Amino acid sequence: MKKLIVASLCALGILNACQQPQSETMVVKQINKGWTYQQVNGKYSGKATVPGTIHTDLLNNGQIEDPFYRTNEKKLQWIDKEDWVYQTMFHLDDETLSRDRIVLHFYGLDTYADVYLNDSLLLKAFNMHRQWEVDIKKFAKVGENNLKVYLHSPVKKGLELYEEADYSYPAPNDQSENGELGDKKISVFTRKAGYHYGWDWGPRFVTSGIWRPIELQAWNDARVRSLYIKQPSITAQKAKLQALVDIDAEMKGEVQIELYNNSDQTMLVSREAELQLGSNEIMIPFEIKNPKLWWSNGLGDAHMYDFEVRIKKGSTLLAGKKVSTGIRSVKLIREKDEKGESFLFELNGLRVFAKGANYIPNDNFLPRVSKEDYQKVVADAVDANMNMLRVWGGGVYEDDYFYDLCDKNGILIWQDFMFACSMYPGDQEFLDNVKQEAIDNVTRLRNHPSIALWCGNNEINTAWHYYGKGGWGWKQKYTKEQQEEMQEAYFDVFHKILPNVIADKNSDIAYWPSSPQAGYEPKEHAGYKSTSGDMHYWGVWHGLHPFEDFKKYKSRFISEYGFQSFPDFETVQTYAIPEDYDIESEVMAAHQRSGIGNLRIKEYMGWEYKVVPDDFEQFLYMSHVLQARAAKMAIEAHRREMPYCMGTLFWQINDCWPVASWSSTDYYHKWKAMHYAVKRGYEPVLVSADVQKEGVDLYLVSDFHQPQKVNLSLTVMKLDGEVVSSFNKEVEMAPNTSFLIKSFGYEALLKGAKKEDVVLYMVVKQDEKVLADNISSIVKPKFMQLAEATIKKEIRKEGDRTYLDLTADKMVFSLYIKGKGQQFELSDNYFNMLPGVKYSVEMRDVDLISSDDIELMHLQLVK
């Protein structure tokens, strides 16, 4: 039982923090080498990688083919129905074994794992999302120790629980048929990443393995289990903070607790405390004057502080711990107004329009996600002017390194708990398991300043729709008694357990029960006409709404929406061969998990563009152009509604395998046309034309928190460059809002020109610096009278930088630049070109190259 101690003040002031500890406090040994695996009652064995999965071990040992290649997924469904044994040996010396406590800490076991040390059963794990720790002092010995992990088949375990249940549960994304289980949806019974069972953008690979590191820890006297810097009151003048120190004590008695700000090498506070045997939680209030606040991307520096706590007995250091965090106040603001209720984030007193995306795991096989993968996806968010990512509830609570990167780069995190698109059991064993899962992860992540919201689940409230008509048709399949049982389980998890853990462990951060939801109470189901809460808008795509409906269905915060595209041709070539180059081939269908997907792309393409190409490569290109158009129209519509709408998070920034999906960057982190469109749409200043039946409304949107004087111009231009009309105005741009500059009737705007013959070119300048520009058409591209264009290209060097200079004699739409046999990064791509204007694109990571090595594709070339 924990004992809360408010320690007595011993000294407070600015002291030199350079005193060196007199002893090492803890032995830490990684147990991640020398592992082997063996199939139980089977032939496969080999050297294992830990952290890892059985699928990747089989692949690394040449015992299976690449799971992502062509239709290999089908051939590999046997793996998840087998049990596997992992073993290694590790050495312990006398000094380590003499410590008061010796534990093995398992940061992640996937999922049903029996752990043995020297043939003694230590642990039976049953939750991928939890950490596990076990005392091994009485089982360990001097010299070599055998550690064995028996991994039970998650499918066999899931089937056992399925058969024991009184009824099955809805789980439409569980691809049980692909897993050779018929209609048995077993995923809901196992606390494991939901997407491993398949999703409408991912394959079914139900993994087993030691998926996060194993660590041996040995200590005397005391260990600091956790240090949390709680932030009850933050202003620019003063940060009132509390250090919550959780100490495991092997001794009773008085100790000195010192808290340091390692960022400037100062002691913040020193206090005495009386430790009791077992767990002690000690609260130490302290203050920092004129703190350097943590800001999100675009608003300021994401400043981080490094804190350290030391537990001392006299001059002897017993234990210590370091953490990094940012000082900030982040709040979810829900205020009643004349239209409903706001839903927005306030950072350090400033209301922030959230610009970002939903984020899924970077691979189906999680341990092979590298630091470079995390760096790239966060860099992709930053480079596209994002300030928020939503960690979606069907994956995992991400690696610490991911949150570290978000902290350092000012990316706010909407963090789902790991529940998505399913109903779940409500027995006490399941509820207890969920509670400990929440405690583990809230405790682990609560120091990250990037965490802005904890959300209970993804889409369950709106799908189940217990209160009233609607939803996804789930509840109608159950008796009234079963409905009540399932609703009680839902309420227990999402309105009792999870918010209670948040309040107990992390009360600085708001909790939201389900996304989307119109209000906090479960009866407040979200809909497309909701004037409060958040919305998932899938009228475009699932509902076959036209792109223009992005502006019809308004919301306070749009936390999901999107449109699909294929990967580019180079990525398709990693999993397909020429005989597969047809969007309806077996391989292309296998790499498109939305059953309606391929034909849905084709249908929308016919609505928006003149040509739906038969050529495979051109079709892939056009799918990118189409997806980018959807993103542009959606983002501009959402930002024009500011401050009624205060967030837009599209689905999704990344992929877990090479696939046709809603992602803006593919599995290899290559930017699609959509990501370039997002980067433009998320610039701090946006100028946008809202095309109406009677004319055009010109909007200016600013994320700046101070007014700015700018020059705004609108030019109506024919496709050959002839100017039809123009508008120019000096504007004081209001801060942090959207406002209508002027409404133009078509007669004055076009002066006799045809809508299909012109584009609208908009520019915002400040002291000749371009803050924003935009090119829009009045009609759909399908009705544009496109003219043949000649593009001149030239390679230019400036020092160690390489540029591609481009000019065209006619308007060019959606220009795609690629290398012939050479990969490189571009500062821009898939952009429109005005006639006679020089465009310079920086080429990064490029070798010697000439203009002949550059290939161009644009809309006029599609046949």
Residue 18 predicted with pLDDT over 70: no
End-to-end CA distance of the chain: 73
Encoded tokens for 247: 């100490």
- Tens of pLDDT, residue by residue over 663-700, are 999 999 999 999 999 999 999 999 999 999 999 999 99
CA dist 801 and 388 (Å) reads 31
pLDDT at 506: 72
Specify the pLDDT at position 852. Answer: 87
Q: Which one, of 182, 18, 205, 221, lies nearest residue 100 by Cα?
A: 221
Which has the closest alpha carbon to 541: 585, 589, 603?
603
Residues belonging to the chain: 863
743-764 mean pLDDT: 96
Number of neighbours of residue 13 by Cβ within 10 angstroms: 9
pLDDT tens digits along 216-250 = 999 999 999 999 999 999 999 999 999 999 999 99
pLDDT number for residue 760: 98
Each residue's pLDDT tens digit, 508-528: 899 999 999 999 999 999 999
The domains of the chain, with CATH numbers, are 3-16+221-325 (2.60.40.10), 31-215 (2.60.120.260), 685-783 (2.60.40.10), 791-861 (2.60.40.10)
- 340 contacts 556 by C-beta, under 8 angstroms: yes
Mean pLDDT of 375-383: 98
β strands within 83-194, DSSP E: 84-92, 101-106, 112-117, 120-126, 132-135, 143-151
User: Which residue did the predictor score with more confidence, 846 or 817?
Assistant: 817
Between CA 856 and CA 859 the distance in angstroms is 10
Find the mean pLDDT for residues 39-49: 97
Q: How far apart are CA 663 and CA 39, in angstroms?
A: 36
pLDDT band at 9; cut points 50, 70, 90: very low
pLDDT for 5 equals: 40
Residue 15 has pLDDT above 60, yes or no: no
Among the residue ranges 19-23, 236-240, 754-758, 788-792, the one predicted with the least confidence is 19-23
* 407-439 tens-digit pLDDT: 999 999 999 999 999 999 999 999 999 999 999
Q: Report whether pLDDT(507) > 80.
A: no
pLDDT per residue as tens digits for the range 257-286? 999 999 888 999 999 999 999 999 999 999
| Residue 3 clears pLDDT 50, i.e. is over it | no
- pLDDT at 662 exceeding the cut of 60: yes
Range 631-643 average pLDDT: 98
pLDDT of 14 strictly over 60: no
Query: Percentage of the chain surpassing pLDDT 90?
Result: 93
Is 70 exceeded by the pLDDT of residue 724?
Answer: yes
Q: What is the dihedral of CA 228, 233, 237, 241, to 10 degrees?
A: -30
The H or E element containing residue 379 is: helix 371-383
What's the mean pLDDT in 342-356?
98
> Distances in Å between the alpha carbon of 59 and those of 56, 86, 205, 372, 587?
5, 16, 13, 21, 20
Report DSSP letters for 304-330, one per residue: -EEEEEEEEETTEEEEEEEEEE-B--E
* Cα 611 to Cα 608, 648, 782, 863, distances in angstroms: 9, 31, 8, 6
Q: Report the predicted TM-score, pTM, of the whole model to 2 decimal places.
A: 0.95
Phi-psi category of residue 418: left, alpha or beta, with phi > 0 → left and psi -120 to 50 → alpha: beta
Contact criterion met (CB below 8 Å) for 289 and 247:
no
pLDDT of residue 324: 97
- Prior bond to 20 cis, omega within 30? no
Q: Is the predicted pLDDT of residue 379 greater than 50, yes or no? A: yes
Inter-helix orientation angle 673-681/616-640, to 10°? 20
Give the model's confidence band at 8: pLDDT under 50 very low, under 70 low, under 90 confident, else very high.
Answer: very low
**Of all helices (H) and strands (E), which one includes residue 698?**
strand 695-702
- How confident is residue 200, by pLDDT bands cut at 50, 70 and 90? very high
Contact 277, 249 (CB under 8 A): yes
> Cβ distance 632 to 677 under 8 Å?
yes
Whole-number average pLDDT of the chain: 95
* Residue 24 pLDDT grade (very low, low, confident, very high; cuts 50, 70, 90): low
